[in-house]
Amino acid sequence: MHIGPGFLSPPVWMGAAAVSGAALAGSLAVAGRRLDDRKVPLMGVMGAFVFAAQMVNFPVLPGTSGHLGGGFLLGILLGAPLAMIVMASILIVQALVFQDGGIEALGANILVMGVMPAVIGEAVRRLWLRPLGVLADVATFLGGVAAVVLGATAVILMLWVSDSLPGSVGLWRAIGVMDLVHLVIGVVEGAASVAVARYVLKVRRDAVFGEPLAQREGAAA
Partner 1 sequence: MTTYNRNTLIVGIVAALVVGGVMSYFASSSPDGLEKTQEDLDAAEPRHGGVEAPPVAFHEYSLKCLGEGFWSNAAAGVAGSLLVLGIVLLLGRALRRKDAPTPRA
Note whether 102 binds partner 1 by CB under 8 A.
Answer: yes
Q: What is the DSSP letter of 105?
A: T
Out of 131, 133, 172, 212, point to the residue binding partner 1 (CB under 8 A): 212
Instruction: Determine if 20 is a binding residue for partner 1 (CB under 8 A).
Output: no
Q: How far apart are CA 110 and CA 25, in angstroms?
A: 13
161-180 mask for partner 1 (x: CB under 8 A)? -xxxxx--x---xx--xx--
The answer to whether residue 181 forms part of the interface with partner 1 (CB under 8 A) is yes
Should residue 48 be labelled a site residue for partner 1 when binding is judged by CB under 8 A?
Answer: yes
Query: Rounded distance, CA 111 to CA 133, Å?
Result: 31
- Which of 8, 139 has the CB closer to partner 1? 8
CA distance 217 to 1: 39
The residues near 8 (Cβ < 8 Å, ≥ 6 apart) are 16, 102, 104, 105, 108, 158, 159, 162, 164
> Is 220 among the residues that bind partner 1 (CB under 8 A)?
yes
Rule CB under 8 A: say whether 52 interacts with partner 1: yes
By beta-carbon proximity to partner 1, the closer residue of 16 and 139 is 16
Q: Which positions ≥6 away from 178 have C-beta within 8 Å?
A: 152, 153, 155, 156
- 89 near partner 1 (CB under 8 A): yes
The rounded distance, in Å, linking the Cα atoms of 69 and 86 is: 12
CA-closest candidate to residue 113, choices 79, 76, 77, 74? 74
Q: Measured from the CB of residue 143, what is the shortest distance to partner 1 in angstroms?
A: 19
Query: Does residue 98 bind partner 1 (CB under 8 A)?
Result: yes
The piece of 30-38, 114-122, 125-133, 138-146 that touches partner 1 (CB under 8 A) is 30-38
Binding to partner 1 in span 55-84, by CB under 8 A: 55-61, 63-67
Q: How far is the CB of 134 from partner 1 (least distance, A)?
A: 26
Q: How far is the CB of 22 from partner 1 (least distance, A)?
A: 18
Closest CA to 75 of 1, 8, 143: 143
Q: Which is nearer to partner 1, 113 or 124 (CB)?
A: 113
Q: Mark 183-192 as b/e (b = at least 16 C-beta within 10 Å).
A: ebbbbbbbeb
Of the candidate spans 120-128, 129-137, 138-146, 210-218, the one that interacts with partner 1 by CB under 8 A turns out to be: 210-218
Residues numbered 110 to 149 that lie near partner 1 (CB under 8 A) are none
